[in-house]
Amino acid sequence: MRALAHAIRDVFDGLKYHRFWLNLALLDWGQRYHRSAIGILWIFGSFALFVGVKALIFGSLTTAPPDYFSLYVALGFLAWVFISAVVNEGCMVFVQSATWIRGISLPLSTYVYQSVLRNLIAFAVSGIFVICALIYYRWSIKPIALLAIPALGVYIINALWVQFLFGTISARFRDFAYLMQTAMRLLIFLTPIMWIPSQLGSIGPFIYWNPLTHFVEIFRAPILDGQPALGSWMVVLAVTVIGWIAAMLVFARFRHRIVFWL
């Protein structure tokens, strides 16, 4: 119980160093696009290109209206990019911060917050394209679309436990990171990003066994369909609770060993 209390304290202590992880996140982006002509706008460009190409190719295979399907892909891929980045970078969150962890005594949660914030910045930049697309297609936005805001909050809450859990496991077993990268490459095809479940016939209902489907839906459905996706919210909240319990138990058990595994 004492180890668990220290782990929970680590989570809250990291918030006190918000200036530190905020500056680290901004520094990461600055270094990544150093000497680039358009800098972070490469995120916007690559996202727009992907959505445009996928909407064009897969749009010819669906009966959905072109404007609906384009926004369907854009919103789904926006959610997916954040989820995928959180998982992949979360696996290496402590490994990539090994120099800092060895050299300075800070709560380990500091590096988790840095990583999540870095991905939120990318989400915001890509989100500009989605907003432009909604305006271009003159999509009717209902008040229930505001549910996308708490959905984003839930994304952040889940991103934290994912990074605590996967970061701890990957610090000990480096192959776990490559396993998750492979899994995410496969899951994008099993998650309704580029296709609509209702058009898959008898296979469609099985897609909802994939938890990531529900994470995408709580963000996309309120904006695109004007629906609250209550069933998906129940699944997501259950995953959130179970995930945090598992993450804190693992993080509490091995928190002091992480520095020796790096």
pLDDT tens, position by position, 6-56: 899 999 999 999 999 999 888 888 777 777 777 777 888 888 888 888 888
Q: How many domains does the chain have?
A: 1
* Token couple for 30: 């600055």
In this predicted model, what pLDDT tens digit does every residue of 59-114 receive, in sequence order? 777 778 888 999 999 999 999 999 999 999 999 999 999 999 998 889 999 999 99
Report how far residue 72's alpha carbon sits from residue 59's, in angstroms, rounded to the nearest whole number. 10
SS3 46: helix
User: Whose CA is closest to 111, among 99, 123, 94, 86?
Assistant: 94
Segment holding 149, helix H or strand E: helix 148-172
* Token couple for 6: 């220290």
- In this model, does residue 194 exceed pLDDT 90? no
Q: What percentage of the chain exceeds 70 in pLDDT? A: 99
Owning domain of residue 229: 2-261
User: Whose CA is closest to 81, among 29, 34, 31, 44?
Assistant: 44
pTM: 0.92
Percentage helix, strand, coil for the chain under 3-state DSSP, each rounded to 5: 80, 0, 20
Report how far residue 93's alpha carbon sits from residue 13's, in angstroms, rounded to the nearest whole number. 18
